[in-house]
Structure 1
Amino acid sequence: MFIDAIAPARLRAPVLRLPVLLPGFTVAAVVAVAAQFISEHYGAPAMLMALLLGMTLQFLSLEGRCVEGIGFTARHVLRLGVALLGARISVELLLDLGAGLIGLIVAAVAATILLGFLAGRALGKGWRFGLLTGGAVAICGASAAMAIAAVLPRDESSETDLSFTVLGVTLLSTLAMIAYPLLTGWVGFDTRTTGVFLGATIHDVAQVVGAGFSISPEAGETATLVKLIRVSLLAPVVLLFSLAIRAGGLGDSAGGKRPPLIPGFVLGFLALGALNSLGLVPEMLGRLLADASGWALLIAIAAVGMKTSLATVMQVGGAAIALIAAETLFLAGIFLTAL
């Protein structure tokens, strides 16, 4: 009765279903903690570990007490994590880099997504897969993949495509963290240019930080700043995708529902970004929100892994591998040429 009085129906539903959702969420959270432990002690990417560990527990998503909680976590906790990413970005970040570099980053992101869209169709993987991989490579790796997947029309391969994309961009990002610093030294980039290149081309934030600070503090700070500019493009890109899908009548095929004009998690991302730009998010709160975002995304990708068969992911095919590798090389080629 108390909950009925203080909360609207849309917010009451998860609260009332908490006993049903808690087992699945708890398992995903335990997997995320294990993945983070492995990452901190052995250097493996946490997202990759969460995905792979989750896949070993796929049977939990098929039947039993965890099914509903895993589904809820893979969908709604994921969106919460993306929304909280907004606490990392601000207008000040844009001003620090200058209009020329920002324009180059925006053009490179758009070109990479367009390449994914066109190549995905040409290779027979479809436009959904092309946008998913192109956006993940162009913006911020696994986080972007999960955000874009949330607004794409769903079909029978949606979970498999998302898991493959997270797996692919995380592996490629780890390889880039090792190879790109060597490449920038070979071509003779100075410290700042090296930071720009690393931040503009490596997929995941953690690998950008690792690669940049392995060279110098200046390169690390520059790389992180450039990377956060790419992260700030996530909300506009997802919003454009959502509007295009809505305008084209390509709504949620699984539920037959028309997608919202602006997804709630995009509004949350933009609202936090705006508050941060106005200086209304204290530094300590901003750090807490950023950490909460990271944990929410890690827990969500563990749940996505639980809904995915590793054998099915391995059957995605050579065309999919070629596509995501080509997008990665294309993005790197743009900045090698421009810088």
Structure 2
Amino acid sequence: MTTADTAERPAKSERWIRWVKKHWQGFAIAVLVAMAATFLSEHYGAPTMLFALLIGLSLGFLSEHDDLKPGLGFSAKHLLRLGVGLLGLQLAFTDVQALGGLSVGATSLLVVATLGLGIALSFATARRFAYGILSGGAVAVCGASAALAFSAVLPSHPKREEDTVLVVISVTVLSTVAMVLYPILFQSLNYSDLQTGFMIGATIHDVAQVVGAGYSVSEEAGLVATLVKMLRVACLPILVIVVHLSFRSRGQAGAFVPWFLTLFIVMAVTRSVLPIPEAVLWVMGQASQWMLVIAIAALALQTNLRAVTTVHPMLLIILVIETLFILGGAMLYATYFLN
């Protein structure tokens, strides 16, 4: 071993220690908020993401402390991307194939059309193209997780964090309302379990809410809803890559596909071709969920609450229109093609 090697080890160790000292306080605050949000979610039934956002926004004054900024920034950016990448393990392509070609095509069309509607409507706002991608992608794919994924590849903008928090709050609330009302609505209209399962999976954002709403109707509805939801999740890496490449063509993004999307695809392929033990899938799923909750807590802590509460009403109207659009499309398909 050379003298240079022995000198390099202490240098690397010192750099690591300095990095930890610089980031640990902000990271610890985000973890604490995430733990509080998880506790409240488990005891009161509301989504963890929503609690993390509300607690983080209420403690936004903490981000004024310079010591907390590096850790919060790391959590809101890098931890977020790792959590999105690990989401790929929730997706098994073999399960999606069980839906049948027509339902796969209809669901994919709904996702793309909702994203396109968001982009079209967003030109009524100052955010234009980027806000449409953020809101349309969140409603079309998987709510808060999709919003965070799209936000990670959009070019920087002074309002980007505010927009992301607004979209996450809105789609989480809308999805929670849908989880309660949609099963009642679909059953009151005398839809079959197959039709109800498809509509629940095609319209509700959060995976856990889809499963809960579907199985509250019947086992068949729950299974169909879960499969349709997984198909929507499968669209996420494709759409995010397309968005990334579109901004790259404008010179507003990096030259390569983001690493966390590559990780997402690798995880999904691994889940589809290898017999991964359920215990491993559960642990990785929990890890991904915790990373996303910590990331959204950090994002909320860095956000100006006054700016979020004084947004232009059109930004909220766009999200409601997108939600009603995907609901209407799913009901049309279920009514005329799933009889």
TM bracket, shorter-chain basis: over 0.9
d(CA) in 2 for partners of 1:13 and 1:159? 30
Residue 220 (structure 2) aligned to one of 218, 221, 226:
218
- Superposition misfits of 4+ residues, deviation over 2 angstroms: 1-5, 12-16, 122-125, 280-283
Q: Which residue of 1 aligns with 2:87?
A: 85
Q: Give the drift of 1:193.
A: 1.5
Q: What amino acid sits opposite 1:333 in the alignment?
A: G
The structure with more radius of gyration? 2
1:61-76 to 2 correspondences below 5 Å: 61-76=63-78
d(CA) in 2 for partners of 1:19 and 1:140? 35
Q: 1:23 to 1:153 in 2, by over 3 A?
A: same
Q: TM-score, normalised by structure 1?
A: 0.92
Q: 1:13 to 1:74 in 2, by over 3 A?
A: farther
d(CA) in 1 for partners of 2:15 and 2:321? 43
1:259-278 to 2 correspondences below 5 Å: 259-278=254-273
Q: Give the drift of 1:280.
A: 4.7
Q: 1:297 to 1:14 in 2, by over 3 A?
A: farther
Q: Which residue of 2 aligns with 1:36?
A: 38
Aligned-residue Cα RMSD (Å) equals 2.1
Q: What amino acid sits opposite 2:131 in the alignment?
A: F
Q: Which residue of 2 aligns with 1:254?
A: none
d(CA) in 2 for partners of 1:14 and 1:208? 42
Q: Which residue of 1 aligns with 2:22?
A: 20
Q: Give the drift of 1:123.
A: 4.0
Q: 1:15 to 1:135 in 2, by over 3 A?
A: farther
Q: Is the 8 A contact 1:125 1:320 kept in 2?
A: no
Residue 228 (structure 1) aligned to one of 223, 230, 236:
230
Instruction: Please list every run of 5 or more consecutive structure 1 residues that lacks an aligned counterpart in the other structure.
Output: 252-258
Q: Which residue of 2 aligns with 1:303?
A: 298
d(CA) in 1 for partners of 2:211 and 2:67? 39
Q: Is the 8 A contact 1:197 1:335 kept in 2?
A: yes
Q: Is the 8 A contact 2:96 2:230 kept in 1?
A: no
Q: Which residue of 1 aligns with 2:337?
A: none
d(CA) in 2 for partners of 1:176 and 1:161? 22
Residue 149 (structure 1) aligned to one of 148, 151, 176:
151
d(CA) in 1 for partners of 2:57 and 2:255? 31
Q: Give the drift of 1:206.
A: 2.1
Q: Which residue of 2 aligns with 1:119?
A: 121
1:244-283 to 2 correspondences below 5 Å: 244-251=246-253, 259-283=254-278
Q: What amino acid sits opposite 2:39 in the alignment?
A: F
Q: 1:144 to 1:220 in 2, by over 3 A?
A: same
Identity of aligned residues (%): 41
Q: Which residue of 2 aligns with 1:205?
A: 207
1:328 aligns with 2:323: yes
Aligned partner of residue 333 in structure 1, secondary structure: helix
Q: Give the drift of 1:325.
A: 0.2
Q: Which residue of 1 aligns with 2:309?
A: 314
Q: 1:76 to 1:219 in 2, by over 3 A?
A: same
Deviation track 1:142-187 (CA, whole Å, cap 9, x = no partner) reads 0000000000011110110000000000010011111111111122
Q: 1:4 to 1:320 in 2, by over 3 A?
A: farther
d(CA) in 1 for partners of 2:44 and 2:52? 14
Q: Give the drift of 1:283.
A: 2.4
d(CA) in 2 for partners of 1:14 and 1:191? 55
Q: Which residue of 2 aligns with 1:162?
A: 164
Q: Which residue of 2 aligns with 1:129?
A: 131
1:237 aligns with 2:239: yes
After the TM superposition, which of the residue ranges 101-110 and 216-225 deviates more from structure 2? 216-225
d(CA) in 2 for partners of 1:308 and 1:162? 10
Q: Give the drift of 1:3.
A: 11
After the TM superposition, which of the residue ranges 142-151 and 192-201 deviates more from structure 2? 192-201
Instruction: Please list every run of 5 or more consecutive structure 2 residues that lacks an aligned counterpart in the other structure.
Output: 335-339
Q: Give the drift of 1:13.
A: 7.3
d(CA) in 2 for partners of 1:316 and 1:280? 47
d(CA) in 2 for partners of 1:312 and 1:2? 52
